[in-house]
Structure 1
Amino acid sequence: VQKKNYRQEKKRATKQLFSALKDPSVVIVADWLKIRGSLKSWTKLWCVLKPGLLLIYKTPKIGQWVGTLLLHSCELIERPTKKDGFCFKLYHPLDQSIWAVKGPKGENVGSITLPLPSSHLIFRAASESDGRCWMDALELALRCSSLFKINLPKHGKDGEVVSPTDLNHTALYTLLQAATVSEQELFQLNEIIPENDAFSDKSENDNIEESENEHSRKTSESDQSELHGEISLDREGTTYMEELYEEFGEVGEASQTETVSDENKSLMWTLLKQMRPGMDLSRVVLPTFILEPRSFLNKLSDYYYHADILSQAAVEDDPYSRMKQVLKWYLSGFYKKPKGIKKPYNSILGEKFRCCWFHPQTNSHTFYIAEQVSHHPPVSAFHVSNRKDGFCITGSILARSKFYGNSLSAILDGKARLTFLTREEDYIITMPYAHCKGLIYGTMTMELGGKVTIECEKTGYVTELEFKLKPFFGGSDTLNQISGKIKVAGELLANLDGHWDREVYLSDVQGDSKDIFWNPTAEIRRQRLKRHIVLFEEQTELESE
């Protein structure tokens, strides 16, 4: 009897919340607000306030959902500002996530926008009167959130059956209440897909026809099993075509050095005359001979041709083994090089790139989407997801470049967050910088440099890596050197050394052996997952290949 009473009350609360979500007339206030992102920049978004919820969209068309704030966990405070307008802040008092994990129509990720904090949001209204109006409305919405709390009666009715539709509503309520998304400092990619895209892995629910000669694959919205009934939508999947050719640079030093022709040297001199040491090159127009024929959004996908290593890591029970698998996947993204010293072209604002990889071992897909969310400064945001195998990656990269006279550095300023969904573990990952020397004299050479980390706060495991630049008097063996350590709670567990494009050795502190940890042999290269890109006819206006 108690269980039935519980279900009845849960149904009632779910119906109330579902009605508030779906009914367009249940709106306290809706207007444009500026929201401050994690990178301290502001973006203008359409905000719809409902009882207990604040829905954020890109436009007033209520199509491009960005995220949903759960007001029952928020505190509201006015924030002083020296600029025009009126600022206020919604925050979690215990610095936990304030975001719902699903959208109002069952979306798993919202539209890509600038990185947003996970535990708070700062809003700016156009005027003080508008801001005061929002403050009053939010106070009302915060009080209204108590309407959805479940109050069990002392005596319930017997014999009432919970209908499938009610269970769907219950699932929605559970999803909205279970807002335990971990903090996303750099990129609140509560985010992806345009309305008609199919970004999630459907392989666990649908029968996918496969053959050896098949080069295209349909994918469609998945994980709607809890949300059928009134809120499910019939959407066509996106057609992905297998890439038949992949270009590799030569192994070793050959692909990292280049002799500039006399014609191109004159172009380089003309360009170099415009530069000063320490200058940021983000606004400098570069000659085409140093550009790679693909975008930076495309290049960021190079790290997922061995995403099957993450599928293996997700099922590892030992946290040390998981960290080593994550490290192996990280190293697998570097050995592919362009032919010659090339820079990918800068994407235009709003440009997108989508692709996916099929995992034959697990019959799943890893989906990738990236978007240029800012042009000056150039910020690229990306989201990678394989829900069947239980991992996703979100992040954003601010690409900066510095000129030093005879050399320049391309710095990837940002972090990626790898999450193992079933374990609720986050791995925060940073990237090395690319260094090109020999612009004026000497042989033009490209290297990777800098210190990077892979850190899991939950388990305490940390990997520290250093990409070393070639010394001035060093031989060819000193090119692409790498060294590192794996630690837990400050205790050293293993040392790493080798070359990031060749063998990397690992030696455990407790043992005397030194084993090959990673080596991109010809056999490993053959095991690269096949990448599929969106059929040209189905690409959106600002989508690139």
Structure 2
Amino acid sequence: MAEEEQMRRHLVLVKPISLEDEKESEYTTSNVIRRILSLFKNIRPGSDLTNFQLPTQLNLPRSQLQCYGEMVYGFSGQDLLGECNRRDLPIERLKSVVAWNISTLRPVVFGMSPYNPVLGETHHVSNGHINVLIEQVSHHPPVSAVHATHEKENVDVTWCQYFTPKFRGGYVDVDVKGKRTLKLMNRKETYEMDQPRLIMRFLPAPVAHWAGKVKIKCLETGLEAELHLLSDSFFQKFKGNNSRSIKGKISETSSKDHLYDIFGHWDRTIMAKNLKTGEIEVIYNAMENISGLKPPIVKNLQEVMETESAMVWSEVSEGILKKDWESAGEAKKVVEDKQRDSLKQREASGESWVPRHFSVVKDGKEWDCSPRQPTVPPAPLVIAEAQGEIINRFQETNTPC
């Protein structure tokens, strides 16, 4: 019992990022900017910032791995991932894959960042029939590997994700590298998809948003979708356009026959127009799927891995949630120092890091990650309705943002 209490104190879970989080005063642009400016009061001109670390005041109380997990399992409405397999017609399955892909887009808080995962860190969580396992397979550069499987519908999702940020003067352009693959095992169909860029713009007003082109292609059916996430330019602001708008199309790859127009806003609704019949249907509703999201709960304490994100960063998250910046900073330093010590020990012994759950191949600047196991087992952390004895038992474990 004492061991259980110790683990409970060192496991902090927060609810997934959802649409309503943007309205919280703590994360409004003006408040974040004030927080950023306050951090520079004690920095003198000419100070060496070579080893400058992001202060905990600018950290969200979650690891980047938790954010990736939320993108896969975090929806409150219909089972979008399972729906990809339930549709009978290939064109309907592609539309469902498009809807699931769009559901992975979440609001980005300008100036705030999740923790940079340490090497070997993991996040293992389940939502219904969906089991997700993520591992940090490289620290420099930071590379994360994701594997998710849907037990009931036999759907498999893998992706290897890493970033290439470039300063463009008035904004930072973050190129999100890595290929996403979604397999419908029962249908013998594989969907490959790109990832959008992240734009952090300073003028005319600080804002962070998703932009760029995303292509979703199925070789077996010969169908593909192309989505354009529109950038939020200075002139668009005055035209009243929303940076979260999406325009695209669904076509046959070989004939280039244009079948559907895709349009809408990823934080509201996305529609598909059948160009032959003129019929318009809603294929995705953000309010029904990425709002009112609930945090995971602990189903089995004994199965929680020591590398679990919620455990690795627990004391840092506790400090942030309490706004105890000193204790949060000290706890963050402990985590980072431990990683540096582990690196020194490996270098001294000539050992190289081998990921536990993924095989990793690096070709130049490109990374490819494949899971070692064909399916992801049910996780000790689960998404459940906010009722019942299991919630009451572990309610102190779940502290929402």
Q: Normalising by structure 1, what TM-score? A: 0.48
User: Using the alignment, how far apart are the partners of 1:425 and 1:308 within structure 2?
Assistant: 19
Moved more, 306-315 or 323-332: 306-315
| Match of residue 295 from structure 1 | 63
Which residue does 2:146 correspond to in 1? Answer: 382
For 1:406 and 1:272, the matched residues in 2 are separated by 22
Cα 1:254–1:538 shift into 2, 3 Å: closer
1:372 counterpart SS class? strand
1:439-483 alpha-carbon deviations (Å, 9 max, x no partner): xx6432111111111111111111111111112122343221111
Is 2:233 aligned against 1:465?
no
- In 2, distance between residues paired with 1:488 and 1:337? 32
Residue 169 of structure 1 corresponds to which residue in structure 2?
none
TM-aligned CA deviation for residue 541 of structure 1: 2.5
- Output the amino acid matched with 2:115: Y
Alignment of 1:417-436 (within 5 A): 417-436=181-200
> Is 2:107 aligned against 1:337?
yes
- Aligned residue identity for 2:304: Q
Question: Relative to total residues, which structure has the larger helix share, 1 or 2?
Answer: 2
- The aligned counterpart of 1:477 is 241
Where do 1:112-261 residues align within 5 Å? 245-246=15-16, 248-250=18-20, 258-259=29-30, 260-261=32-33
Say whether 1:512 aligns with 2:278. yes
Secondary structure (helix, strand or coil) at the match of 2:236 reads coil
1:352 equivalent in structure 2:
122
Question: Is the contact between residue 275 and residue 403 of structure 1 (CA under 8 Å) also seen in structure 2?
Answer: no
CA distance in 2, matches of 1:374, 1:496: 36
2:86 is aligned to: 315
Query: Which deviates further from its counterpart, 288-297 or 481-490?
Result: 288-297
- Structure 1 SS opposite 2:144: strand
CA contact (8 A) 1:400 1:412 kept: yes
Where does residue 309 of structure 2 map in the other structure? 544
2-structure distance, mates of 1:272, 1:308: 53
Instruction: Quickly say closer, same or farther: Cα 1:273–1:427, change in 2 above 3 A.
Output: farther
Q: 1:525 Cα shift?
A: 5.0
Q: Structure 1 residues 542, 252: closer, same or farther in 2, change over 3 A?
A: closer
Within 1, Cα distance between the matches of 2:290 and 2:197?
24
Q: What residue is the counterpart of 1:495 in the other structure?
A: 261
Check if 1:327 corresponds to 2:83.
Answer: no
Superposition misfits of 4+ residues, deviation over 4 angstroms = 241-247, 251-257, 260-263, 268-276, 338-341, 523-537
Find the aligned partners of 1:470 and 1:284 in 2 and give their Cα distance: 30
Say if 2:178 is the partner of 1:414: yes
Residues 435 and 534 of structure 1: CA distance in aligned 2, closer, same or farther (over 3 Å): farther
- Distance in 2 of aligned mates of 1:409 and 1:505: 28
C-alpha distance in structure 1 between counterparts of 2:235 and 2:48, whole Å: 28
Out of 74, 77, 97, the residue aligned to residue 305 of structure 1 is 74
Percent identity between the aligned chains?
28
Which residue in the other structure is 2:397 paired with? Answer: none
1:403 counterpart letter in structure 2: F
2 CA distance for matches of 1:413 and 1:272? 35
Query: Within 2, Cα distance between the matches of 1:245 and 1:410?
Result: 25
Deviation per CA, 1:337-370: give whole Å up to 9, x if none: 3666522211011111110011xxxxxx211111
Is the 2:215–2:224 Cα contact (8 Å) retained in structure 1? yes
Q: CA deviation at 1:430?
A: 1.6
Q: Provide the rounded CA distance (Å) in 2 between the counterparts of 1:329 and 1:252.
A: 22
Q: CA deviation at 1:243?
A: 7.0
In 1: Cα distance, 2:60 partner to 2:35 partner = 19
Q: Which runs of 5+ in 1 are unaligned?
A: 1-240, 359-364
Equivalent residue in structure 2 for 1:264, among 32, 36, 43? 36
Radius of gyration: which is bigger?
1
Q: d(CA) in 2 for partners of 1:296 and 1:312?
A: 27
Are 1:251 and 1:501, in contact at CA under 8 Å, matched by a contact in 2? no
**Residues 150-170 of structure 1: CA deviation (Å, up to 9, x unaligned):** xxxxxxxxxxxxxxxxxxxxx
Report the residue type matching 1:458 in the other structure.
Answer: E
Aligned mates of 2:140, 2:223 — CA distance in 1: 36
RMSD: 3.5
Equivalence for 1:399: 163
Change (3 A) 1:291 1:529: closer
Give the structure, 1 or 2, with the largest relative contact order (CA under 8 Å, sep 6 or more). Answer: 2
Q: Letter of the aligned partner of 1:482 in structure 2?
A: I
